[in-house]
Structure 1
Amino acid sequence: MIRAENVSKAYGDTLVVDGVSLELPAGGITSIIGPNGAGKSTFLSMVSRLLKMSAGSVTVDGMDVTKTPSDELARRLSILRQDNHIAARLTVRDLVAFGRFPHSKGRNTKADKKIIDQSIDYLNLSDLSNRFLDELSGGQRQRAFVAMVLCQDTDYVLLDEPLNNLDMKHAMSMMKILRRAADELGKTVVLVLHDINFASWYSDYIVAMRDGRICHKGRVKEIMNQSVLAEIYDMDITVHEIGGRRVSLFYE
């Protein structure tokens, strides 16, 4: 379990995340939603220790993220940031292999290479494994980065806006892969998402943030409610049930 207690982040006099206390359950997919500027990505960055907290604490299965050695934490928790710019010219296989660094320190064994191959195959990238990243489409590159994160073979996988720059077809494909990773590989997947319908369709839990605070949290059906969504986004929203799942439509 990931536990945050009174986590805050301030830039000067501006409080971006304001005293967030939250338990993210082990297993399944948890999506963090909310309007722009709600503090979603900032909170996720603090959970993964990419960003220093102004106050509060975060533990992962009881390990304090600020005190746990980096290599030990990296074997339990991995994160894909929103911006993934790599200056070096790498192939897909080179990139995915970086995921083994916390385990092998760059000296990959046969077991490491097997996991690299499995991760490439899991993201349907086998035919592209020797292609350079700059030769791929945006969707293919995003899959390569997700393969790298899965190759790290951690219990917790954190993804900040993994659907960025993906069209509807590729976004759906990505969410299906992440759903499989949670169900088949036993990963705990935590996502920051803007599309609440993807969150509704593929998640087990939803956490909603607004103005740097948690405003709602719970199972999908508890959040995909007209009055709850209207409070989160400050606009009128209708919710419809399709195939046992709830989807939303915005209107003025």
Structure 2
Amino acid sequence: MDEIKNAVELLLKARRVSALTGAGMSAESGIQTFRDKDGIWTKMDPMKWATREGYLENPRLVWEWYEARRNQVKNSKPNDGHRAMAEFEKIFGHFSVATQNIDGFHKLSGSKNVHELHGNIFRNKCFDENKILEELDESTIPPRCPHCGALARPDVVWFGEVLPQEVWEAAFDDAKNSDVYMVVGTSGTVYPAAGLAAIAKKNDAKVVIINPEDSEIDLLADVLIKGKSGEVLPEILRGLQAGK
């Protein structure tokens, strides 16, 4: 595929490379997406399941839904796309991943420089004080913060909440300073994450977009590859290894 060859040629010239990944990447591991035509939010009201207000209205039901999501992730595993990205860290002087996914698959695959923009479903925090909770007494559902007694909640970014500042700033800086910026498996509709490619482009990075479907940010692409990340990224990796 000429587009893959073009992507490899751009990447071989790069020293600093960063990537933004979205739900489409983990969909190839069997994790249901949120915004596709058959995604979760087409069947469920996100205001009831992914907001502070929705949680307070029915905390037990929402907690149990997230427990079901955790179990789905536990029964899945990273795919070849995740593993290829972990290998990119060994090739470039700098490589980082900013991910909208909350499944932790990038770190599980061996990636070390990961910015989890929307949190991690396996972490919990205090609803009132926002502090990460390492241990919980789950004899009550949902559990309570052992320090102040407030509800515990998943450490994920809900609708109406801002991204974690340090994580966002690191992802922003990486986009701003990239030679090549990769966008993989995202619809390009969820901001501010979707704006990272434009930030990279504004600062003279080449943008490579990999997605089986059209996205809202395709016009930013210097190279646009229509395909699954689990197939395309390993091909790019092989091209880089041969070219190096």
Do the two structures share a fold, i.e. TM-score over 0.5? no
TM-score by length of 2: 0.33
